[in-house]
Structure 1
Amino acid sequence: MTTLDPKADLLRYLRSAREALLWKLDGLSEYDARRPLTPTGTNLLGLVKHAAGVELGYLGDTFGRPSAEPLPWLAEGAEVNADMWAGAEESRADIVELYRRAWAHADATIEALPLDTVGRVPWWPSGRDEMTLHHAVVRVLADTQRHAGHADIVRELVDGATGMDRENTSMPSDDPVWWVVHRARVERAARDA
């Protein structure tokens, strides 16, 4: 499906990336949604929390449209990297709802302003802090897709679930034996190289 509306294209891809990121939480226990699965602590709920802050910053504050959402991980003296994981007192439902409110706020900014609108990124150095809405949407879209890719891998490590959603795995086979054989072939090629 093609459109001559660049804003609609950007929104469609951004919304798809958001949904893919959230799907990775479906059906998981609290532990599996939060547990770190890489040496740097990457976890599914933390990716969602981070994505919410990114949207509120780049597609809100940057264009003079701050949200009323408190983001304690950005406060003076907050723990470094606190946006990348959820404390025990932070519920999954609250983080998911924060992300959905961030979507609504960001979408309202995108819909209200022309793509060539110039904003100022408050946390960038003065004199190098300007960005157009188009640039901001592309930046957020790229960041969301990047983290959805992280979530793909983390979720596969948790329970083997893959793909964009339950109906669209985009995988060549759903046969576990096929994957064992495929993985062994890839391993052999790596060793032979």
Structure 2
Amino acid sequence: MIDEFAKEYLHSDLRRLRETMLWKLDGLSEYDVRRPLTSTGTNLLGLVKHLSVCESRYFGEVFDRPFPEPLPRWDDLGARGFDMWVTEQETREDIIDRYRRAWEHSDTTISALAIDSPGHVPWWPRPDVKLFNILVHVLRETSRHAGHADILREHLDGSTGTSAEYANSERDAAFWEARCEAIERAAKAAVVPSTRTAEPD
């Protein structure tokens, strides 16, 4: 049946991306997984923490299956953004374990419900949804943050890829330096000012 195929297809992609998010932490120091790597403070461990809240909420309260651990209220503006970074009291293991518990809770919801099961997202303009909508939304959110994580990890140590077996390790530093130089030359050539003079009126 197409509905079951669609549900399993989306769920399979989500499971794969979750593992990618955790792999992006492997081999990095405590400082590097926590420190802000963009002007807005984006950091690797904070992305994982955020996704654990995202899954807990969307596959929990949206379908009247609340996650059995405390979550910040979705309408608490003062708490907004606190799920995007990690305090010194929170360990890497705390964050990873919570993400895995969120997966288990989400997976139970996904398995238990049909893809057209109704849910309610009070913070959305059109709050009445189906499991299909939420699967697509969480998959999109996780994909977006996996892309962020890939760029952040590349910035830290040059590592890219979606998992250890697909890690970008076949090229050496000289290759990438030459590649960047070629890209830089092309970028500069594209913005050379025009030598044509304006036609007189």
TM-score w.r.t. the length of structure 1 is: 0.91
* Matched residue type, 1:180: E
Measure how far apart 1:42 and its partner are. 0.6
Match of 1:188 among 179, 185, 188: 185
Specify every segment of 5 or more residues in structure 1 that has no aligned partner in the other structure, as ranges: none
Q: In the alignment, is the contact (CA less than 8 A) between 1:61 and 1:122 conserved in 2? A: no
Measure how far apart 1:50 and its partner are. 0.5
Measure how far apart 1:57 and its partner are. 1.0
Q: CA RMSD in A?
A: 1.8
Q: Distance in 1 between matches of 2:61 and 2:80?
A: 21
Matched, 1:118 2:118: yes
Matched, 1:44 2:44: yes
For 2:157, the equivalent position in structure 1 comes to 159
Give the 5 Å matches for 1:164-179.
164-169=162-167, 171=168, 173-179=170-176
* Largest Rg, 1 or 2: 2
Measure how far apart 1:158 and its partner are. 1.2
Aligned partner of residue 185 in structure 2, secondary structure: helix
Measure how far apart 1:76 and its partner are. 4.2
Q: In the alignment, is the contact (CA less than 8 A) between 2:43 and 2:152 conserved in 1? A: yes
Q: In the alignment, is the contact (CA less than 8 A) between 1:119 and 1:133 conserved in 2? A: yes
Q: In the alignment, is the contact (CA less than 8 A) between 2:153 and 2:159 conserved in 1? A: yes
For 1:93, the equivalent position in structure 2 comes to 93
Q: In the alignment, is the contact (CA less than 8 A) between 2:159 and 2:169 conserved in 1? A: no
Give the 5 Å matches for 1:63-78.
63-72=63-72, 76=76, 78=78
Q: In the alignment, is the contact (CA less than 8 A) between 1:63 and 1:120 conserved in 2? A: yes
* Percentage identity across paired residues of the two chains: 51
Q: In the alignment, is the contact (CA less than 8 A) between 1:73 and 1:83 conserved in 2? A: no
Give the 5 Å matches for 1:51-62.
51-62=51-62
Measure how far apart 1:77 and its partner are. 6.7
Specify every segment of 5 or more residues in structure 2 that has no aligned partner in the other structure, as ranges: 191-201
* Matched residue type, 1:107: D
Give the 5 Å matches for 1:135-146.
135-146=133-144
Q: In the alignment, is the contact (CA less than 8 A) between 1:72 and 1:78 conserved in 2? A: no
* Matched residue type, 2:30: E
Q: Distance in 1 between matches of 2:146 and 2:105?
A: 20
Q: Distance in 1 between matches of 2:173 and 2:181?
A: 12
